[in-house]
Amino acid sequence: MALETPSFITECSEDEEGNLTLLFPEELLEAMGWCEGTVLDISVVGNRIVLQEVREAGSGQDAITDSGE
């Protein structure tokens, strides 16, 4: 049986200073162990957006992807 990759859709908004922000669903935050202030590295790989929590060296990394479909 194939595992289903979770998918989340959210909107990007711009603050007064021109910074772009994303609001993540609570379900995603809980699943990833993220909270307000968690630092993420964001990259685009092919047609996917890859988010990785920035951690200290040697602690491993979690990632979640969005296919952009």
Q: Which tens digit of pLDDT belongs to each residue from 7-66?
A: 777 788 999 999 988 888 888 888 888 988 899 998 998 888 888 899 876 545 455 555
Q: Does residue 5 lie within any of the structural domains? A: no
Interval 30-44: pLDDT, tens: 888 898 889 999 899
Q: Domain tally for the chain?
A: 1
Q: Does residue 1 lie within any of the structural domains? A: no
Contact 65, 49 (CB under 8 A): yes
Q: Does residue 2 lie within any of the structural domains? A: no
Contact 24, 8 (CB under 8 A): yes
Q: Is the model's pTM score more than 0.85?
A: no
| pLDDT on residue 16 | 94
Contact 34, 21 (CB under 8 A): no
Q: Which domain holds residue 61?
A: 12-66
Q: Does residue 32 lie within any of the structural domains? A: yes
Q: Does residue 35 lie within any of the structural domains? A: yes
Q: Which residues pair with 21 in a beta bridge?
A: 13
